[in-house]
């Protein structure tokens, strides 16, 4: 007789997104996702709680989910379970030998982690697979952006996620705060670049949520 297991909607959402993220993941990079749950704020380690005390419950909950996830990925890579700090400009501070990135939307937290030196960098973003509000599209999309075959319905949201992921990947390298029009993205070529920064390779999935991973690949 086959045992029946019942899975909660959040389990199914995680499994479905994880499968899409695994399909896009480049070799060596660990990606994960976790539905943000009530109580995830308690997953923050004491040092991390100190860094986010000024933030509201929703933000602490999302940070707890993302940091818990990142710690699991670090453990899979053989790294000890330690706090992931938070820099002055919001950037995560990784322990020596690990580089990664965190993101969350209202429902899901995602993380990307790789073993490597501090001059390596990653950026990740997650967004619902829904169109951006019409008035936000012109703020995000600039003349140089190339949409390729991306659905016109979602192109603005995909570009938004790509630019946020690129910013998170490049900021730890150069410390420059960027606007959307400082970043040009080609969805056709799966890459982007900042005004003065490196070319950034993009890996993405669109369904069930939009997730973009950005990896600087050289100047």
Ligand X SMILES: CC(C)(COP(=O)(O)OP(=O)(O)OC[C@H]1O[C@@H](n2cnc3c(N)ncnc32)[C@H](O)[C@@H]1OP(=O)(O)O)[C@@H](O)C(=O)NCCC(=O)NCCS
User: Using CB under 6 A as the criterion, which residues of the chain lie in contact with ligand X when the complex forms?
Assistant: 62-63, 66, 86, 89-92, 102-104, 125, 163-164, 167-168, 171-172, 177-180, 183
The least distance separating ligand X from the CB of residue 2, rounded to whole angstroms, comes to 40
The least distance separating ligand X from the CB of residue 188, rounded to whole angstroms, comes to 19
Contacts of 100 (CB under 8 A, 6+ apart): 70, 73, 74, 84, 92, 94, 111, 112, 113, 114, 122
Q: Whose Cβ is closer to ligand X: residue 150's or residue 185's?
A: 185
Dig out the tokens for 57 from the structure. Answer: 């419950």
Q: Whose Cβ is closer to ligand X: residue 7's or residue 133's?
A: 133
Q: Whose Cβ is closer to ligand X: residue 150's or residue 210's?
A: 210
Helix, strand or coil, per DSSP, at residue 198: coil
The least distance separating ligand X from the CB of residue 97, rounded to whole angstroms, comes to 18
The least distance separating ligand X from the CB of residue 198, rounded to whole angstroms, comes to 14
Residue 128: in which H helix or E strand, if any?
Answer: strand 123-128
Q: Whose Cβ is closer to ligand X: residue 7's or residue 196's?
A: 196
Contacts of 193 (CB under 8 A, 6+ apart): 183, 184, 199, 200
Measuring CA to CA, how many Å separate 57 from each of 40, 43, 63?
Answer: 10, 13, 10
């Amino acid at each position: 007789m086959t045992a029946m297991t019942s899975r909660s909607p959040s389990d199914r959402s995680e499994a479905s997104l994880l499968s899409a993220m695994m399909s896009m993941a480049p070799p060596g990079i660990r990606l994960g996702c976790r539905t943000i749950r009530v109580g995830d704020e308690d997953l923050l380690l004491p040092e991390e709680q100190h860094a986010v005390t000024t933030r509201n419950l929703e933000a602490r909950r999302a940070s707890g989910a993302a940091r818990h996830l990142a710690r699991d990925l670090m453990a899979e890579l053989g790294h000890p379970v330690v706090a992931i700090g938070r820099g002055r400009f919001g950037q995560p501070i990784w322990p020596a030998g690990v580089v990664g990135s965190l993101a969350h939307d209202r429902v899901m937290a995602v993380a990307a982690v790789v073993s490597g030196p501090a001059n390596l960098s990653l950026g990740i973003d997650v967004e619902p697979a829904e169109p951006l509000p019409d008035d936000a599209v012109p703020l995000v999309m600039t003349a140089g952006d190339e949409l390729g075959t991306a659905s016109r319905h979602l192109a603005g949201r995909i570009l938004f996620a790509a630019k946020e992921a690129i910013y998170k990947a490049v900021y730890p390298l150069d410390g420059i705060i960027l606007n959307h029009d400082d970043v040009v993205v080609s969805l056709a070529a799966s890459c982007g670049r900042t005004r003065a920064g490196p070319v950034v390779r993009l890996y993405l999935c669109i369904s069930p949520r939009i997730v973009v991973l950005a990896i600087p690949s050289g100047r």
